[in-house]
Amino acid sequence: MAEKEWTPKIVAFVCNWCTYAGADLAGTSRLKYDVNIRPIKLPCTGRIDPLFIVKAFEQGADGVLVSGCHPGDCHYTSGNYHARRRWIVFSELLRFLGIHEDRVQFAWVSAAEGAKWADLVNEVVAKVRELGPFTAYRELDSAEVVS
């Protein structure tokens, strides 16, 4: 297979009610933004297990974006409050392991914030493009364990 020029692969875990709708609005408003983002829709940011982020990196993501309803506006009342606590802790753990903080980014994007979504994606992709491919993680992917 020919070596393609690298472009960032960002996986975005977004909530159905706010951010996904906001992304839809960006679409219907014909706003242009970076294509390197792959949204995955979940009912709520509260559903997002930190394991999803680990899996995203394992599967080749260079960066991850997590976005949902603004605190106070969660469709399920408190899902994003729980998520907020979780990400405060998880982001510290990832940083402690030596993973650059720009590889996992968090945002609140409401259903009305189509423009914010577009800007956010561009910002996130630009930051990850600057960091380069997450080769350190990929280099872990070795099924060869020399004793």
Partner 1 sequence: MIDELRQKARELLETGEVDLVIGYGEGSDPTRTMPVFIRRPEDCEKLVWNKYCYNNLTSYLTWPELKTRGKRAVVCKGCDAKAVVVLSKERQIDRKNVIVIGMACEGVGEPLLSKCEFCDVRTPKNCDIVIGPEITPLSKEKQFEDVEQLEARDPADRWEFWREQFSRCIKCYACRQACPLCYCTQCIVERNQPQWVPTSAHPRGNLAWNVMRAMHLAGRCIGCGECERVCPSNIPLMLANKKLAQVVKEQFGYESGYDIDEPLPMASFMPDDSDELFK
Partner 2 sequence: MAEFKLNEGRLQELITKLRDAGYRVVAPVEEEGAFVFKEVTEPGQARLDVLRTARSIKEWFFPRVEPTLRYEFDGSAVRCESGLPESPQKTVIIGCRPCDAASLPMLDTLFDWDYRDEYWFRRREATTVISVACDVPDSYCFCTSVGGSPEGTAGADLLMRRTADGGYLLEPLTEKGRAIIEAGEGVLELASGTEEVLVGEVPQRFALDKVKPWLDQNFEHDYWKEISYKCLSCGICAFVCPTCHCFDIQDEADLERGVRIKSWDSCCFPIFTRHGSGHNPRPTRDTRYRQRVMHKFRYYVDKFGVTACVGCGRCSSSCPIDMNICSVVAGVAELAESSK
Binding site for partner 2 (CB under 8 A): 1, 59, 143-147
- Residue whose tokens read 């992304």: 23
The token pair that represents 53 in the structure block: 């982020």
Q: Which does 125 bind (CB under 5 to 8 A by kind): partner 1, partner 2, none?
A: none
Residue 90 interacts with, from partner 1, partner 2, none (CB under 5-8 Å by kind) = partner 1
What is d(CA 128, CA 63) in angstroms, rounded to the nearest whole number? Answer: 6
Helix (H, G, I), strand (E, B) or coil at 86: helix
Which does residue 1 bind out of partner 2, partner 1, none, counting CB within 5 to 8 angstroms by kind? partner 2
List the interface residues with partner 1, window 75-94 (CB under 8 A).
Answer: 78, 81-82, 84-93
By CB under 8 A, name the one of 31, 54, 115, 131 that touches partner 1: 54
Alpha-carbon dihedral 135, 89, 128, 116, rounded to 10 degrees: 160
